[in-house]
Amino acid sequence: MLKEWKLSAAVPEAADFAHKLGVTEIVAQILWNRGLQTVEAAETFLHPEKQAFHDPFLLKNMDKAVDRIAAALTAGEKIMVYGDYDVDGMTATTLMVHNLRALGARVDFYIPHREKEGYGFNLPALQQIAADGTGLLISVDCGIASVDDVAAMKGSLDIIVTDHHIPGAVLPPALAVINPHREDCPYPDKDLAGVGVAFKLCQALWKRLEGQDYCQDLEIVALGTVADIVPLLGENRRIVAQGLQHMRNSASAGMRALVDVSEIRDEQLNTGHVGFRLAPRLNAAGRIGSARKGVELLLSKDAEQAASLAMEMDMLNSQRQTIEQEILAKAEAELAGVDVNNLPAIVVAGEKWNPGVIGIVASRLVDKYYKPTIIFSIQDDGKCKGSCRSIEGLHMYEALQQCREHIVQFGGHSQAAGLTVALEELPAFKEAFAQVAAATLSDDDYIPKVKVEAELPPEDITFELVEELAALEPFGMKNPKPLFGVRNIRGTSAQAIGKEGQHLRFQVGTADQPRTALLWNRSDYVGIVNSEALDMVYSPAVNEWQGSRSLQCMVDSIAPADGERNFPERDILVDIYKFLYVIQQQEGKIPYTPQELTVRFCGRGKHLSLYTMSVGLRIFQELNLLHMDLTENCYYLPKASGRMDLEQSPTYRRHR
C-alpha cells in the first residue's frame, strides 16, 4: 500500500534553538515541529521527570470520592473495585486494589466476562455485589455510559465512577463521577488512560489520608497507559518514562514474571516491548480466558505463583493468535467477492466469531485496506457484538453517534470503539455507517499518511544521531518515533531472513558507508527491491552483535519511486493479460501475489513495476476478467467474452 509522505517543514529557527538546547539541528527541528517551541517546554519534554503531576483534586468530584472512601475505611466497610477486561482496565483494577489494601481497606474486585457480560456495568452483577454486603463500589476504566444501571442501584449501593471514555449527554447519577472529559471538569490533562485516572484517585487518597505525595507503582500505570494507546505527552509521558525504568526490577512479582515470560532480554524496556509483548499476553486473558487471572498475576506477591500465571497468559496468547488467523481468513473470504477499493468502509459479520479477538482482526484489515472497519460476531441471542477501528479523518465514536438509532449500545474513542447491534438491524446499520463514512471522508483521507521528519540518505546517519533521537523516547501516540525518508534509492543483496523466512534484509548506503535495511514480514518484496527504484521511509538504529556495533535502517515502508509509478495503458494491460493467460494454461492457476507476478513478468526481459502490475490486476478484477480463489490462494481467468471494455473499470475511468 502506497503511503503519502507528510514531510515536515524546514525550521529557520532550528540552529538557534539547537544551540540553546545543546542538541543537533535535526532534533531541534523535530521538537519545534511537534509544538515544543520554547526552551522550557523542550527541556521538560527531554527530561520527563521534570513534568509536574497536577493536583488530583482539580478533577471534578475528587473531593466527594475521597471523603466517601475515607468513611468506608473508618467503618471497615466492604469495597468492590469494578474494572474492565482490557489491559487498561486490568492495570487500573490492580492499582486501585493494591492501594486500598495498603490503606487498610476490605476490598475485592470484579471484572465482567467479555463474552457473557460485555463492557461496562451490568445490573445483575451490581445487584449481586450489593447483596453480598458491599457498601461502596468504585469503577475503573468503565461506568461512564451506564446511566440506567447506576440509577437502578440508587439507595442500595454507593457508586464512584472513574473513567476516561467520552461521556454521553447524561452522566450516571453516581455519588461521584471522575472523568477528565466531563465538560465541567477543569483538570488540565485530558489524555489520561483509565489507569491514569485511577492513579490520580490514589494520589488524592494518599495526600488526604496520609499526607504523602504518592508516585509509586508507575510500572503498572505505564503498562495500561501504553496498551490503551493514549497520547504520550504531559503526565502520561512522565508516567511511561519512569514506569519503563522500574518494570524489570519492579516490586511486583507479577510484573517481573510477565517480563520474563515475554522473553524481553534488553536492559532497557521500551514502549514497543510493552505494546507488542507484554500487553498482548495480558490482554489474552480478557479476550479468550478470564481477565481476573490478569489482575491476580499483577497483584501476586509470590514468585512461583506469578510465574505459573504468566505462563498461562503466554499459552492463552498463542491460542489467541491461532483464533485471530482463523477469523481473519474468514473475514477475507467474506470480502473476496466485493470491490473493497470502492467501499467507503468495511463491515463484516460472522457467526460466533470470538468477540475478544475481532478487534485485532479489525486492526489487521485497516492495516491492509486503510478503511474504517467494523467486525461483528453474531451471537445465539440475536445480538451482534462489534469492534471498530478507524483511520485518520473519521472519529469513530462520533460516527457511531450518527447511527445510534440502529445500535443497542456503544462506547469508545476516536480511533476504536465497541458496539452491540440487533441482528435484524445489522443491514440498516451497515448502510447508515457506510453513508456516514462516505459523507465524512474524502478521496485523500483513504490514502495512508506517513510523517517524515526530513529527507536523510542512509549513509548520513551516525551513532550520535541515534543516541540523540533516543532522548525523544518514550514513543507512542502524539509522539511517534521519528522517521526519515530517501527517494529513488536502489537496494541490493535483498534476501529473506528469520526462522520462517518472513522478513526482508537488503543493503543501502554507499560503498564506504554501507547500511543494512530491515523490513519485517515483507520477504515477498525480495525480487522487487533487487529490481526497482524505491522511496524508503525508515528510522535509524544501532545493531549490536557479538561486541560490534553497526548502523542500520529499520524500514517503515517502501514504495515505487516516481519513475516506477506508471499507469498501465491498453497495450500494457493486453500484455499483462496475455502473460496471465499463459501462466494459467501452463500451470492451471495464477500466483496470488502481485510481487511474484511482477518478478516473473520482468523475467521475460521486459521491465514492469509492481505498481503497474498491481493497478493492472485491480482493473481486471473490476472488469470481472480476473477472480480470486482464497481457498487455493490464487487468481484465475474466467472464460474470455470478447474485447475488454476498459471504460467499465472505475480505476481506469479515474485515470482517463
The pLDDT assigned to 566 comes to: 92
| The predicted structure's pLDDT at residue 2 | 74
Residue 640 has pLDDT above 90, yes or no: no
Query: pLDDT tens, 433-447?
Result: 999 999 999 989 999
Indicate whether 551 pLDDT > 70.
yes
The answer to whether 118 and 69 have CB atoms below 8 angstroms apart is no
The 10s digit of each residue's pLDDT in 313-361 is 999 999 999 999 999 999 998 887 787 878 999 999 999 999 889 999 9
pLDDT-based confidence at residue 1 (cuts at 50, 70, 90): low
Residue 396: per-residue pLDDT: 95
**DSSP assignment letter at 408:** S
Residue pLDDT, tens place only, 201-232: 999 999 999 999 999 999 999 999 999 989 99
Does 157 score more than 90 pLDDT? yes
**pLDDT surpassing 90 at residue 116:** no
Q: What per-residue confidence (pLDDT) applies to 31?
A: 96
Residue 425: pLDDT band (50, 70, 90) is: very high
Nearest by Cα to 606 from 561, 634, 583, 572: 572
Q: Which three cell numbers stand for residue 36?
A: 515544543
Q: What's residue 400's pLDDT? A: 96
Query: Is pLDDT of 472 > 90?
Result: yes
**Predicted local confidence at residue 423, as pLDDT:** 96
- What is the CB-side half-sphere exposure of residue 212 using CA atoms within 13 A? 11
Burial 180-218 (b: 16+ CB within 10 A, else e): bbbeebebebebbbbbbbbbbbbbbbbbbeeeeebebbb
Confidence of residue 266 (pLDDT cuts 50, 70, 90): low
573 vs 544 pLDDT, higher one? 573
Structural domains present in the chain = 56-315 (3.90.1640.30), 330-446 (3.10.310.30), 450-561 (2.40.50.460), 566-655 (1.10.10)
pLDDT band at 553 (very low <50, low <70, confident <90, very high): very high
Task: Give the angle subtended at the CA of 168 by the CAs of 190 and 238, to the nearest 5°.
Answer: 15
**DSSP string covering 454-523:** EE--GGG--HHHHHHHHTTPSPBTTBPPP-EEEEEE--EEEEEESTTS-EEEEEEE-SSSEEEEEETT-G
User: Per-residue confidence at 267, pLDDT binned at 50, 70, 90?
Assistant: low
Q: What is the mean pLDDT of residues 569-597?
A: 92
3-state secondary structure (DSSP) of residue 177: strand
How far is residue 522 CA from its own chain's centroid? 20
What per-residue confidence (pLDDT) applies to 413?
81
Q: What is the pLDDT of residue 629?
A: 79
Banded model confidence at residue 265, pLDDT cuts 50, 70, 90:
confident
Report the pLDDT averaged over residues 542-564: 91
- pLDDT, one tens digit per residue, over 617-638 is 999 988 989 988 767 778 899 9
Q: Nearest to residue 404, comparing CAs of 228, 181, 169?
A: 169
C-alpha cell of 431? 448502510
Between 413 and 376, whose confidence is greater? 376
- What pLDDT, on a 0 to 100 scale, did the predictor assign at position 414? 86
**CA atoms of 281 and 311, how far apart (whole Å):** 9
Mean pLDDT of 382-398: 94
What is the residue-averaged pLDDT of the chain? 93
Residue 601 has pLDDT above 90, yes or no: yes
pLDDT of residue 641: 66
Name the CA dihedral angle for 253, 254, 258, 264, rounded to a multiple of 10 degrees.
Answer: -30
Residue 459 in this model has a pLDDT that exceeds 70: yes
Query: What's the pLDDT tens digit per position in 13-24?
Result: 999 999 999 999
The model's pTM: 0.88
pLDDT at position 412 is 79
Angstrom distance (rounded) from CA 600 to CA 582: 12
Q: How far apart, in Å, are the Cα atoms of 509 and each of 461, 486, 490?
A: 10, 10, 9
